[in-house]
Each structure stands twice: as structure tokens, then as C-alpha cells.
Chain A
């Protein structure tokens, strides 16, 4: 991530390829990335900032944003703790089926999100494998905020794990042995020695998970029921308002989400180095 880019020393004089290739790169990204993003901002603010503000502060919009943040937060908390635990177990112990477990943990990102939502419905829904047994007792997790958290956990399952495990793998064993001979319990060793070395990995794993969960649409729309003011997250709100023809309302939230992801990835980009500084 450092800015030390080696100069092309084998070219004498002015290198024409340099401005050409940079220009080409920007030009290719223009219709693919820059313009779509720019149009959100152009459209969203074209009717004046007060219209934009009104759309943003509509109760349903505020609710959708809050719900997205809350459900993503809890999914992130769970997946970071789980990822830490899974990475610890899978890098410290060797056992039969270890590789199978690693593959299974990584699987959810490869599954289409609609399939993930559908699978959750088939398990927990009123007629689902488990849901059928629980429904008579008044337990119904589908179509609640809980269902959104479950869906978020499922689709972001391997993200934190994937960032934390390589750090575990490369961590020297002698640090933990040294801590043990000094007199620390396993827990003290984990807390004082192992965890601090994972700081950077935990933060970036959490940010990745959170960013991915906030934007989740496919599984959420299936399991949440998409009830405005009750189980409607921000991406669902955009979709619903767009369908109703309220472009401005959709646009306001879209701007917030776009800025939000921009912020998270900036933090990821710059904070990683900072966190890993000894």
C-alpha cells in the first residue's frame, strides 16, 4: 500500500506509454464506474438540496438506514468473533475434516444471495424444516429483524475469517510458548499476545463484513418480508421507492449508501498500515 512505485528505468527520454495508458485506464472506468456513481449525485441533488434533505429525513428512510446499520452491526459482531474462533481452531489444530471445514466456511460467498435467502426460509420459515416444529410455540424468526441478521451472517460468513486466518497461520509459535513459560494462562496469552497481533486483521475483517452486510439485497428481500417501517433495510427501501416511481426518495438513500461504502474502503485502505505499525 505504499506509494513507492518503481520507475520504468529501461525507457529513455519521454515515455509516451505512460500518459496513454493512464488515460486509457481512466477512460475505460468512466462509463463503468465513475459515471454511474456521478449520476446518483447529479440526479439526487438536481431538484435542490432541500428536496434531497426532505427525502433523506422521511421517517421510513431514516428507519431503513437505522435498521440496515443495526442488523449489519450485529452480523459483524458475530462474524468477527466467529471468524477469530474458527481461525484459531483451524490454524492451531490439525484434525480429520479440517480442510472440508475450511471449504465449507468459505462457501457462502460463492452461493447466490437469493439462494441463501431461500435456504434460510426453507429452514426457519413457517413451513420449513425447523420452523414447522417451532411455529406452534409462537416462535417465528422469519420476516423480523432477526431474519435480516441471519441472512447477513450467512452471506458475510467467510469475510472476517478469510482475513484473520492467514495472520494466525504466519504468527510465530514461539510467541505463545514464550508467554506460557513466563507464566501466562492460555487466556492471558490469547488476550495479551495473540490478539494484539491480530488488531489490523480484525478491523479490516469487520469493515469488510459490515460494508458487505449493509449492501445486502438478494437474501434480505426474501427473508425480511420487506415491510416498510418494520423490516425494510436501506437497499430494500431504494428498490421499493424506485418501483413506486419515487426516484428522489430512492436517490437520497442511494447517495448515503454510496458515500458510506466510499468511507469504509478509505478507512480500510489507510488504516490497515496504521494498525499494523509496531
Chain B
């Protein structure tokens, strides 16, 4: 969450919808996969548009690598189809699909120079020597490795090897580029630098790409759209903005950075959290008065006030006691204890020993708020102080998955 503020700056193409920007360049339709009796993928479907970057984001074991291997043809799906530019390639072997895979280990050929590696795809396609030379030169300048052309992979840095791997796949004009955790083996600084470089590169060459990663920051920065995977199924697909600000499920909310989740009850035109009524327009089809649901909000969506809330500002959530204040560089992190959700919706029992601290002995819960530096230095807060908590933005999650409103 260290860079929370950074990726909140909306991209120019905002706001996009769930549909890919243009006709699908690559589609996965109803893919499932089993290893023995264990089901690793269940009915996965998504499209990647022409020139679009889709990120598959998931924890290890979410099945993201398996999806990539199925698209590449290195693994057979149990059911479902893989379609590349309108052609069903499910039955084709890897070498006839024309996809480019960038492996985490780069998988550069150790006994070939940079030039030879890049030209490999064209050499085995029996292209003319002159054509190969021209393409290799073009790609070398595209990935800025001209002076390293005669070197062997072991003489290059991780980032340089990665760029050779990309150039090697671009040489034969792949239908789609597949990146298998491409920055996993690099240190943080190189990783951040390289992913910006690669995003710019992908926009230049306009090849549809699928990245897989477990790093949410990377996903938000790289992707035109992000698909969040959880144990073999897609939780949500959307632009980084949508995924971050309007998570469809609790998993998405908590996987993408810090999120506060509280129980609440749906009322007419509002939701009830603790003793507060927060006005909300909810989809009548999904939310019925009396439903137990969850409200999700980011630490930066919390605003803290001393004394009463000024009129006509953001809705009040609760009164809270400050439990902890920590300085974490770019901002200040405050842990607060607030009243927990309504009695009727208690999903988990708050153990008695956790509640004894609170003065009124009502069930309570910790939430996290962050305050930017200027605000933190303008109004200093102290541990033990009572404040009023208001929300600048929040999402209500429907009872079972599906998309909420705010």
C-alpha cells in the first residue's frame, strides 16, 4: 500500500467499461482445468482487445500460471476454448499458435548471442538472411540493446535479459504476448523502472498482452484492465480504477491493498452501520431492506474530525477512539476503534476479552485511516483522542458477490 496515492491518479482513458476497447484479439471461453481430482480452474472467460494489456492478478495457487500455459498451448484445458484473432486454437500445439511467452526465468538460449536469440524465430521459419538481419536490427534499437548484440545472455543484467526475451518474441509478430511473472526475479527498483518501460513499449508495438502477477501495485500500473483471480475463478474484471475503487467482492477489496470491511444492514435509501445511517442509493434488485451486507472503504477514504461534523460534508460513519498513530513516510496511518455492525448481522463473534478495552463495552472493530502529510501536520491527533469518522467514498458489497453501488 506504500504507493496508494500514486495509482489513484486516473488514466486519460478513464472511465472505461468492462468491455474490451475493440474487437477481441484473444479470448478464453469457459476454460476449466483439473490435475487429477483437484480442480484448478473453473469456467474462466475473458477477452483481450487489440493492443490492450490485461493483467491476471492472483495469489499463488490461484491458477493464473495455468491459464497462461493453456493459452500458450503448453497445457491442455479440461473444457473450454482458446480463440486467437477469431481462430479456435484449442487443439493446436504450442508451436503453431504464434504466441509469445516471456518466462519468469527469461529462458534465453544460453549458447546464442543476443542477436541469435532475437533472430531465432525467423531462422526456424526459414526467412531470408537479409530480412532476419533487418528485423533483428530494428528490434535491437526498439529495446535499446544495440551495443550488446554480440553478448551472451549470461553477460547481461536481469532487465536486459528480459528485454531480449521480449524482442525475441516480437520478431515473429506474435498474436498475443504472454508474460509469466516477468519481474519476479528482479529487485524492486529495477522492477518499477522496467514495468514502466515495458508498458510504454507495449503501447508502441500495439500487441495484445496478458500479464500474470501477484503484485497488486504492478497490476494497477501495468494493466488497461485487471482480472482478479481467486482459487481458480475470476472474481472481477475491470479497469484498475474500477477494481480499486469499486471492488465487487470482499476478496478483491482486501487483495488490492488495504481495505476496511464492516458489517451493515440495508435500510430504505440508506445503510446502517453501528449507530450511523449512511445515505446510499442501492440497486433494488440486489439489495433488500433488512439484508446483511458489507461496506468497504479504503484507508484514504476516511476523514477524521474533532468535534461535530460540519454540515453538508461526507456522511458520518461513527465516533472513534484513536488507538495508534504511525508515521509511514508519505502519509500518516491511524488505527481507530469504532462501533461494530448491527447486532442482527453479526457474522463473527467478537470475543469478550477484545471488547473490554472500549469504554461502553459495545462490540467494536479496528479500522485504518491514512492522512496525507499536509493534513497530518495541520491537525495533530493523539492516541486516546475521540474523533468523528466520515467517509468520502465507499462501496457496499451485495450479499453474495455481484457488483455493489455507492
Q: Scan B67-111; emit 1 where CB is below 8 A from any A CB, else 0.
A: 000001110000000000000000001111111110101010111
Least CB separation from B101: chain A residue: A181
Using Cβ atoms and an 8 Å threshold, which residues of chain A touch B124? Answer: 182-185, 188, 192
Which of A181, A183, A193 is close to B109, meaning CB atoms less than 8 Å apart? A193
Q: Scan A182-224; emit 1 where CB is below 8 A from any B CB, else 0.
A: 1111001000110011010000000000000000000000000
Q: How many A residues face the partner with a CB closer than 8 A? A: 19
List B residues 84-142 near A (Cβ within 8 Å).
93-101, 103, 105, 107, 109-112, 120-121, 123-125
Using Cβ atoms and an 8 Å threshold, which residues of chain A touch B94? Answer: 177, 180-181
Question: Counting CB contacts under 8 A, is A175 at the interface?
Answer: yes
Question: Counting CB contacts under 8 A, is B394 at the interface?
Answer: no
Question: Counting CB contacts under 8 A, is B406 at the interface?
Answer: no
B153 touches A185 (CB 8 A): no
A174 touches B111 (CB 8 A): no
In angstroms, Cα B94 to Cα A158, docked, is 35
A181 touches B111 (CB 8 A): no
Which of A172, A178, A185, A278 is close to B111, meaning CB atoms less than 8 Å apart? A278
Question: Counting CB contacts under 8 A, is B154 at the interface?
Answer: yes
A178 touches B101 (CB 8 A): yes
Least CB separation from B111: chain A residue: A196
Using Cβ atoms and an 8 Å threshold, which residues of chain B touch A177? Answer: 74, 94, 101, 103, 107
Question: Counting CB contacts under 8 A, is B331 at the interface?
Answer: no
Question: Counting CB contacts under 8 A, is B298 at the interface?
Answer: no
Question: Counting CB contacts under 8 A, is B337 at the interface?
Answer: no
In angstroms, Cα B121 to Cα A178, docked, is 10
List B residues 154-184 near A (Cβ within 8 Å).
154-155, 168-169, 172
Indicate the member of A181, A185, A193 with the most B CB atoms within 10 Å.
A181
In angstroms, Cα B184 to Cα A245, docked, is 73
In angstroms, Cα B185 to Cα A172, docked, is 16
Which of B73, B110, B123, B153 is close to A181, meaning CB atoms less than 8 Å apart? B73
Distance (whole angstroms) from the CB of A12 to the closest CB of chain B: 40
In angstroms, Cα B110 to Cα A196, docked, is 9
B169 touches A182 (CB 8 A): yes
Q: How many B residues face the partner with a CB closer than 8 A? A: 31
Which of A175, A180, A193, A278 is close to B95, meaning CB atoms less than 8 Å apart? A180
A181 touches B72 (CB 8 A): yes
Least CB separation from A176: chain B residue: B107
Least CB separation from A198: chain B residue: B111
A178 touches B107 (CB 8 A): yes
Indicate the member of A174, A178, A180, A182 with the most B CB atoms within 10 Å.
A182
In angstroms, Cα B165 to Cα A175, docked, is 12
In angstroms, Cα B109 to Cα A156, docked, is 32
In angstroms, Cα B152 to Cα A196, docked, is 13
A197 touches B72 (CB 8 A): no
In angstroms, Cα B101 to Cα A182, docked, is 8
In angstroms, Cα B89 to Cα A181, docked, is 13
A192 touches B120 (CB 8 A): yes
Least CB separation from A184: chain B residue: B124
Using Cβ atoms and an 8 Å threshold, which residues of chain B touch A180? Answer: 73-74, 93-95
List A residues 86-127 near B (Cβ within 8 Å).
none
Using Cβ atoms and an 8 Å threshold, which residues of chain B touch A193? Answer: 109
Using Cβ atoms and an 8 Å threshold, which residues of chain A touch B169? Answer: 181-182
Known contacts A177-B94, A182-B172; is-contact A278 B153 (Cβ 8 Å): yes
List A residues 164-179 near B (Cβ within 8 Å).
172, 174-175, 177-179
Known contacts A188-B124, A192-B120, A192-B124; is-contact A183 B107 (Cβ 8 Å): no
In angstroms, Cα B105 to Cα A252, docked, is 56
B109 touches A175 (CB 8 A): yes
B125 touches A181 (CB 8 A): no
Distance (whole angstroms) from the CB of A214 to the closest CB of chain B: 30
Using Cβ atoms and an 8 Å threshold, which residues of chain B touch A182? Answer: 95, 100, 120-121, 124, 168-169, 172
B74 touches A278 (CB 8 A): no
B95 touches A185 (CB 8 A): yes
Using Cβ atoms and an 8 Å threshold, which residues of chain A touch B125? Answer: 183
Least CB separation from A185: chain B residue: B95
Known contacts A182-B121, A182-B124, A183-B125; is-contact A192 B109 (Cβ 8 Å): yes
Would you mind naming 11 contact pairs between A and B with Cβ atoms under 8 Å apart? A172-B107, A177-B94, A178-B107, A178-B109, A181-B94, A181-B100, A182-B100, A183-B96, A196-B109, A196-B111, A278-B154
Residues of A within 8 A of B (CB): 172, 174-175, 177-185, 188, 192-193, 196-197, 199, 278
Residues of B within 8 A of A (CB): 72-74, 93-101, 103, 105, 107, 109-112, 120-121, 123-125, 152-155, 168-169, 172
Given A178-B109, A183-B121, A278-B154, 18 extra CB contacts under 8 A: A174-B107, A175-B109, A177-B107, A180-B95, A181-B74, A181-B94, A181-B95, A181-B99, A181-B100, A181-B101, A182-B100, A182-B169, A182-B172, A183-B125, A185-B95, A185-B124, A192-B112, A278-B111
Closest 10 CB pairs between A and B?
A: A196-B111, A178-B107, A174-B107, A278-B152, A180-B94, A181-B101, A182-B121, A278-B154, A184-B124, A174-B103
